């Protein structure tokens, strides 16, 4: 094998090795996400500190009224107020406590809604929701990578794999988007229908894009190697022999001129064939 051919082979192998390295890093990242994503919530607080502080602030007036109710009971037990006074004052305090608790409940609900993270009441719950759904998408990518390595030419099998990948991506997109989706201006059925339709289309598009990229990447690597080999072939098989004959034989030798024409036609034919392969 010539030095040029060896160099060409080395370049092609370098491109393939680079692609393998990128694939290796991608697999490691996927494994890391699968391992860590469901556990990221462990260090986060179970309750929203701002909401809990606001809840404690609103509870102070209620506690004050409860303390007043306790004091009224003590006054009655010690004979400082009559039974009718005790009943009247207790009823009044109970009404105030009930009204204040209802008001506080509405205020806390508003505070919780304002502090939501993509519709989740706390950051911890959001991370839990995302962490158990994100691996679905990673698993779908893994399936696509495994299927891309399949060299089967069975059309029915390829169609089945396409449907499988589309289904995997569709459910993955659905659960991940649902994790971030918190707006509900329309009936729930409308969102479900729209999301399911979108996720199926997105799944099919992602599957097709993945397969298109994979097939074209392989094709580009092959074309690059084939073209470099072709350049070596031109140099060794056509130019060198023609140059040797030109140096040995006379340029005005009719037999030699005819031979040069034949070799030129052969070279043109080979060039056309290779050009058609590259363009196809």
What are the tens digits of pLDDT across the range 232-260?
A: 666 666 666 665 665 555 555 666 666 76
Q: For residues 100 and 65, what is the distance between their CA atoms, to the nearest angstrom?
A: 10
Whether the per-residue pLDDT at 5 is higher than 70: the answer is no
231 falls within a domain: yes
Selected residue with higher pLDDT from 26 and 108: 108
Task: With CA atoms as reference, report the closest residue to 62 among 93, 87, 90, 85.
Answer: 93
- The number of domains in the chain is 1
Whether the per-residue pLDDT at 44 is higher than 90: the answer is no
Sequence length of the chain is 280
CA R_g for the chain: 38
Whether the per-residue pLDDT at 184 is higher than 80: the answer is no
261 falls within a domain: yes
Containing domain of residue 254, as a range?
A: 218-279
99 falls within a domain: no
Does the global pTM surpass 0.85? no
260 falls within a domain: yes
Selected residue with higher pLDDT from 166 and 94: 94
Q: For residues 62 and 266, what is the distance between their CA atoms, to the nearest angstrom?
A: 100
- Backbone φ and ψ of 253, nearest 5°: -70, 120
Q: Which of 78-92, 126-140, 195-209 has the lowest mean pLDDT?
A: 195-209
Q: For residues 101 and 223, what is the distance between their CA atoms, to the nearest angstrom?
A: 75
CB atoms within 10 A of CB 166: 21
Helix axes 155-180, 188-233, angle to 10 degrees: 130
Decide: helix, strand or coil at residue 246. helix
Whether the per-residue pLDDT at 116 is higher than 80: the answer is yes
Mean pLDDT value of segment 186-194: 68
Q: For residues 155 and 198, what is the distance between their CA atoms, to the nearest angstrom?
A: 26
6 falls within a domain: no
């Amino acid at each position: 094998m010539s030095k040029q051919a060896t160099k060409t082979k080395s370049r092609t192998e370098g491109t393939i090795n680079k692609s393998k390295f990128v694939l290796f890093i991608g697999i490691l990242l996927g494994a890391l996400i699968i391992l860590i994503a469901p556990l990221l919530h462990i260090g986060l607080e179970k309750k929203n500190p701002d909401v809990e502080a606001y809840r404690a602030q609103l509870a102070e007036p209620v506690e004050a009224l409860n303390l007043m109710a306790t004091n009224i009971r003590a006054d009655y037990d010690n004979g400082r107020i009559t039974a009718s006074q005790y009943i009247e004052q207790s009823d009044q305090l109970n009404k105030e406590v009930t009204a204040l608790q209802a008001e506080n409940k509405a205020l806390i609900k508003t505070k919780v809604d304002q502090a939501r993270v993509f519709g989740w009441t706390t950051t911890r719950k959001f991370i839990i929701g995302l962490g158990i759904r994100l691996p679905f998408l990673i698993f779908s990518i893994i399936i696509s990578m495994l299927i891309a390595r399949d060299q089967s030419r069975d059309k029915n099998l390829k169609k089945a794999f396409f449907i499988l990948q589309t289904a995997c991506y569709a459910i993955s997109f659905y659960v991940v988007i649902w994790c971030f989706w918190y707006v509900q201006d329309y009936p729930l059925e409308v969102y479900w229908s729209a999301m399911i339709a979108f996720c199926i289309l997105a799944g099919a598009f992602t599957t097709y894009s993945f397969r298109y990229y994979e097939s074209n990447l392989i094709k580009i690597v092959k074309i690059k190697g084939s073209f470099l080999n072709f350049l070596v072939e031109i140099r060794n098989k056509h130019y060198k022999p023609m140059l040797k004959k030109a140096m040995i034989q006379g340029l005005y030798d009719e037999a030699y001129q005819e031979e040069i024409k034949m070799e030129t036609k052969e070279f043109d034919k080979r060039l056309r064939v290779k050009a058609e392969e590259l363009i196809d």
